Amino acid sequence: MNRNLIIGIVLVVVLALVAIFFVFSGSSTPAPQPSNGNPTVTYPSDNTGLPNTQSGTTAQQQAVQAAFQSRLPADNPNHTKLYATVIVGDYALQVWAGDVMGGEAVLKYNTGTNKWELIDAGGGAWSVDTLAGIGVPTTTAQSLLNQLPH
């Protein structure tokens, strides 16, 4: 293969990995937040077929969304938008999309702290097997996936 092509491909892969690391890495010091304490997340008003989570959500769905938003960088460089929020028991899936990437985040309710915690930000769609692989009970995983909009 052409040496320049190989170098270009390696460079693109490295840049993508660095971007993913910065978007989803937790920091030991919190990032500066806007005055309301939450990163700015826009809610879509387009015709994507996915529910708009800005209105019509339950308090628990709003808590899941806030927990996910708290893990975003303060300036939200990916312009992350939130879509469906599905909760079954102590587990939730938060569908999100941004300019560069999107996916389904998995959150778990911590009864000790009474807060939702991000388990995995995802990078695409989950299956029952992959959810079970990170500790979600199989029946809960199936229920979560069945409730997502198609």
Report pLDDT for 128.
96
If one compares 19 and 47, the residue with the highest pLDDT of the two is 19
Which amino acid does the sequence have at 15? Answer: L
pLDDT at position 22: 56
pLDDT-based confidence at residue 77 (cuts at 50, 70, 90): confident
State the pLDDT at residue 147. Answer: 94
Among the residue ranges 2-6, 32-36, 91-95, the one predicted with the least confidence is: 32-36
Model pTM score: 0.62
- Please determine, for residue 66, whether its predicted confidence score (pLDDT) is greater than 90: yes
Would you list the domain boundaries of the chain? 39-147
Closest CA to 122 of 97, 140, 89: 97
CB burial readout 117-131, b (16+ within 10 A) else e: ebbbbbeeebebeeb
Can you read off the two tokens belonging to residue 7?
Answer: 């170098």
pLDDT in tens, 13-42: 766 665 665 555 543 333 333 333 333 333
